[in-house]
Amino acid sequence: MDFKRIQKWDNELNICIRCGYCFEQCHLFKITGWETDAPRGKLILIYGMLHGETKPSEYIVNKFFECFYCKRCDNSCSAGVSITDIFTDVRADFVDAGFDVDGTTSKTNDDLCSRCGICVSVCKHEARSLDKENKKIVIDKVKCQSCGCCEAACPSGAAYIVEGWELGENELREKVINFLKEDNNEPKISNILL
């Protein structure tokens, strides 16, 4: 597999000293508790693939499409590694290599979709477009950041995000919202040492 985009991040992957301080900020990790779902684990996997120590698989690829781009890991990284930018580039390399997984990216139920295009206009990541020839909504999985705006705006209930982590959609949503309400991006230690 050609990692043409993530090659440029090789130095950043060395700068990550694997301290794991990104753990506390990642709500996906908070839910599953497996290190492979945490930003550090994903960076380790990219390093391994880039240096031929581990091979891409659907299991690995799915990890990188499971991210809500809250960017708390970026903000909490003491070494300043642009973690989600790296994830976006590795997604693009995976798509180029022919991998097709959904992760948390949004989908459209074509049977329910009225092709009104509202989801296209509300998508601030320009991940959705209307394929006029085939008369359907097309989703760019590399660009989709799983923000849920399309799902919230869709009048026909056609846009949706796949359930995951052994949780129903409502339970997942509740967990994520509660986690995001817990604190801001400031290190939580600051509350304790006061």
Partner 1 sequence: MGLVDIERLKGIIGAENVKDDKADLYVYGSDSSVHQAMPWVVVRPHTIEEVQNVMRYANPRLIPVIARGAGSGMSGQAVPIKGGIVMDFKKMNKILEINLEDTFVRVEPGVVDDDLNRALKPHNVFYPPAPASSRIATIGGEIANNASGVRSVKYGAVRDSVLGMRVVLANGDLIDVGAKTRVQATGYQLERLMVGSEGTLGIIVEATLKIVPIPKFRCLGMAKFNKLEDAGNSISEVMSSGINLSMLELMDNIAITAVNKAQNLGLPDVEAILLFEADGMAKEAVDIEIQKIIEICKKQNGFGIDLSYDAKERAKIYAGRKKLFPSLSRFKDYFTCASLADDMAVPYSKMAETAQKIHEIAKRNNVIMTAYGHCGSGCMHTKILMDPRKKSQWEDAKKAVFEIYSYVRSVGGTTSAEHGIGISKAPAFKREKSNSLNAMRAIKKALDPNNVLNPGKLMDAPDDWVTATKLRYTTQQGIF
Name the residues that contact partner 1, by CB under 8 A. Answer: 11, 14-21, 23-24, 33-36, 41, 44-45, 47-48, 51, 53-55, 57, 59-60, 63, 77-80, 166, 186-194
Which of 16/149 has CB closer to partner 1? Answer: 16
HSE on the CB side for 183, CA within 13 Å? 14
At 28, phi and psi to the nearest 5? -65, -40
Nearest approach in angstroms of CB 119 to partner 1 is 33
Give the Cα separation of 83 and 96 in Å (integer): 20
Nearest approach in angstroms of CB 38 to partner 1 is 9
Q: State the Cα angle at 29 between 24 and 30, rounded to 5°.
A: 65
CA torsion angle for 89, 71, 144, 86 (degrees, to 10)?
Answer: 0
Which of 67/123 has CB closer to partner 1? Answer: 67
Nearest approach in angstroms of CB 59 to partner 1 is 5
Tokens of 2: 């050609």
Nearest approach in angstroms of CB 8 to partner 1 is 13
Only one residue has tokens 């995000």, namely 161
CB-CB contact of 62 with 101 (8 Å): yes
Nearest approach in angstroms of CB 158 to partner 1 is 32
Which of 23/113 has CB closer to partner 1? Answer: 23
State the DSSP code for 134.
T
Which of 53/126 has CB closer to partner 1? Answer: 53
Which of 47/99 has CB closer to partner 1? Answer: 47
Give the Cα separation of 36 and 141 in Å (integer): 21
